Amino acid sequence: MTKRFVLAALAALLLNGCASVSTLNASKDGAPIIYAGTRLDWYGINGGCCPLDRFGAEAPTYPALDLPASALLDTLLLPFAIAAELGVGLRVQGGL
């Protein structure tokens, strides 16, 4: 039971600073869409100077730790990212 709680808390902390989630919320014109979170992490690892100007979001505090999770999430969201890059309007909405 405590093991599940620890894993859930860790996941919540990682998602809060997840580069993929940050870039999805940014919606900056001209920012990369395909594998944006992974690219933001890689940019942060290599000491990029201005992630806010390039991606519309700040790099996570520990980009090397966030990289595997962002790569996984970006891979899962790849069909939507390709559709957005091609300009296909999917009209996806959340809520009830």
Q: Which domain holds residue 53?
A: 2-86
Angular region, 14: left φ>0, alpha ψ -120 to 50, beta rest:
alpha
- What's the pLDDT at 92? 62
Neighbours of 52 (CB within 10 A): 11
Q: What is the pLDDT along the chain (96 residues), one digit of tens a residue?
A: 688 877 776 666 555 567 777 777 676 778 888 898 899 999 999 988 888 888 888 888 888 888 888 898 899 989 888 888 887 766 666 555
3-state secondary structure of 56: coil
- What's the pLDDT at 90? 65
Dist CA 19 CA 55 (whole Å): 10
Residue 95 lies in a domain: no
Count of domains forming the chain: 1
Is pTM, for the whole model, over 0.75? no
Residue 31 lies in a domain: yes
